[in-house]
Amino acid sequence: METIVEAIELKKTYLLGKVPVNALNGVNLKVDRGDFLAILGPSGSGKSTLLNLIGALDKPTRGRLMIEGIDISTLNDNQLTDLRRRVGFVFQFFNLIPRFTARQNVELSMSIADVGKSERIKRADTLLETVGLKDRMSHKPAELSGGEQQRVAIARALANDPKFLLMDEPTGNIDSKTAMEIMGLIKGLNEGNGVTVIMVTHDQRLASQSKKTVMMLDGSIVQETVN
């Protein structure tokens, strides 16, 4: 299996006011193409920090983080930006642009990647159909339920044919019934379409849906389970 993400002794220190906080304390992790990895842990365990680093939203303090064999700490801002375009991010709070319709939100990530208008619309429609929002394309986020908004966010994350999906508590803001539906969608994408998924959650039940689970505590991985 081809390794797509590899963290070696990864460290991240924040300054909280003037107090340094070690969010990551030397994390070692390997994710292969086609994996479905769940990162489990209580709040403050560093799982979101790890996800932000993998998504090139932040830079590590120490250690190495290889994405497809390239150490991201060697990349400049522009290269990091390019990398972000090939990472599909799904957030707990959806983070859709409120004034845009579902279709426009999906289009946005393609427009950022310089895709032409007609191709954008075509692909946005296909993706929204895939996530089951065929009839809600012209609705704005405020007119959609939480589950529907998260589906739009997933369609947006898939728009630029990403190397992997990064999901930060994707069902944290959704009722449990809808959460299971979303999980079903994610599993389908992973198993059916071969999309690599890295998901952060603190919900043991959701984590058990993944192929592999790592448990984090105080900035370190303390347990690794293959489901």
Partner 1 sequence: MRARDVLSYSFSAIKLRKLRAGLTTLGVVIGIAAIVALLSISQGLQSTITAQLERGFATDTLIVTAGGGGGFGMGGGLGGGGDSGFQLLVSDTQTINGLPNVDSSVAIIQRVVNNVSVGGTNKTGTVTGVDFAGYLDIYGDTFKASNGTIPIPPANDSIVVGKRVVDPRLNGTTIAGVNDPIGLTWINARANATITLSGHITAVLNEIGSFGVGGPSDSGVYIPIAQAQILFETNECDMIIVKLKSSDQVVIDNASSAIKNAFYGEVSVISATAVLGIISSIFSVIELFLGGIAAISLVVAGIGIMNIMIVSLMERTREIGILKALGTKSRTVLLIFLSEAVIIGVIGGAIGIGLGWVLANVVAIVFRGGGAFMGNQAAVNGGMTITPILTPTVFLGAMAFGIGVSVIFALYPAWRASKLKPVDALRYE
99 contacts partner 1 (rule: CB under 8 A):
yes
The minimum distance between CB 179 and partner 1, in angstroms, equals 22
Q: Give the one residue of 6, 37, 91, 214 binding partner 1; rule: CB under 8 A.
A: 91
Residue nearer to partner 1 on the CB measure, 36 or 89:
89
Q: Which is nearer to partner 1, 84 or 123 (CB)?
A: 84
β-bridge pairing 164-168 and 87-90: parallel
The verdict on 114 binding partner 1 (CB under 8 A) reads yes
How many residues in the shown chain lie near partner 1 by CB under 8 A? 28
**What is the rounded CA–CA span in Å between residue 33 and residue 200?**
17
CA dist 13 → 21, 25, 59, 112, 165 (Å): 5, 9, 10, 31, 25
Q: Does 111 bind partner 1 (CB under 8 A)?
A: yes
Report in angstroms how near the CB of residue 208 gets to partner 1 at its nearest: 28
Strand order in the sheet with 220-226: 87-90, 164-168, 197-201, 36-40, 212-217, 220-226
User: Residue 219 and residue 227: Cα distance in Å, rounded?
Assistant: 23
- Least distance (Å) from partner 1 to the CB of residue 84? 4
E-strand ranges in 112-178 read 164-168
Is 75 a residue that touches partner 1 (CB under 8 A)?
no
When the beta carbons of 14 and 32 are compared against partner 1, the nearer one is 14
Orientation of helix 146-158 relative to helix 117-130, angle to 10°: 130
Q: Does 77 bind partner 1 (CB under 8 A)?
A: yes
Q: Under rule CB under 8 A, which residues in 33-52 are in contact with partner 1? A: 52
Beta bridge partners of 127: none
Q: What is the dihedral of CA 7, 11, 15, 21, to 10 degrees?
A: 120
Q: Is 89 in the site for partner 1 (CB under 8 A)?
A: yes
Binding site residues, partner 1, CB under 8 A: 52, 55, 57-58, 77-78, 81-87, 89, 91, 95-97, 99-100, 108-109, 111-114, 156, 160
